[in-house]
Amino acid sequence: MPDGVAPVEAARAGAAAAGRPRHVAIIMDGNGRWASARRLPRAAGHRAGVKAVRRTIEAAITSGVEWLTLYAFSSENWGRPAEEVADLTALLKHYLRHETAELHREGVRLRIIGDRDRFGPDITAEAARAERLTGANTRLNLVVALSYGARAEILAAARRLAAEAAAGGVDPASLGEAEFAARLTTADMPDPDLLIRTSGERRLSNFLLWQSAYAELLFVDTLWPDFGTAEFEAALAEFGRRERRFGGRPG
């Protein structure tokens, strides 16, 4: 039996009922182009992007999506101009400090994946506080990827397994996909059913590479600050029209 059969069966079993995705992941792209088109500084685009985050969270709750993962800051984003990185980190700190209470009132559980320590102790502390406050909420699981890179995540999991094997804790011959996935930062999360990228770009940009093996990919031209309820519902409708076979025979 091929190694991928068991995970595929698990994915089938966990697929959302009635053509609705259980887990939606979004690469939020286009803030800079949105600002440039309006002759505004890039920081204005990022602030407008925060409003789109609010709309998307509300749309996810209304539609019954259980998990929403947002790619907010990639590990590669540290290479942007220092001024823009400073604007982004300040906006992130403001969001964690001032939006967490509203997320909690709405029953949203916030979780952060990625190398949060690179942002410094202030943001690390705010992130931990937000996760503690919202930890028991069940209406929506909101996952924010910060200083995240899928290759680094996969490499870290491989190193962890190698160390365990060297110490005699695991038998390499017995390892399968489930054991590897258990070492990822998303170990207790369902894989994305639908992955959306805004702004017309058509690449994954090092986002959830392992987890998105069987995700439906949707690339939309809308710039992220213009994304909202209508666009989210249109994406769910497109998902509902697709036939998910997980590598099986056509229907």
Catalytic residue numbers read 29, 77
Q: How far is CA 124 from CA 118, 119, 129, 134, 237, in A?
A: 9, 7, 9, 16, 37
Q: Quick one: how far is CA 163 from the chain centroid?
A: 28
Binding site feature residues for substrate: 30-34, 42, 46, 74-76, 78, 80, 197, 203-205
Within 13 Å of residue 185, how many CA atoms lie on the same side as its CB?
A: 24
Q: Confirm if 30 and 246 have CB atoms less than 8 A apart.
A: no
8 Å CB contact between 135 and 102: no
Q: If we measure between CA atoms, which residue out of 145, 152, 230, 246 comes closest to residue 193?
A: 246
Please state the residue numbers annotated as binding site.
29-34, 42, 46, 74-76, 78, 80, 197, 203-205, 216
Task: Say how far apart CA 215 and CA 235 lie, in whole Å.
Answer: 13
CA atoms 82, 86, 92, 96: torsion sign: positive
Which residues contribute to the annotated binding site for Mg(2+)?
A: 29, 216
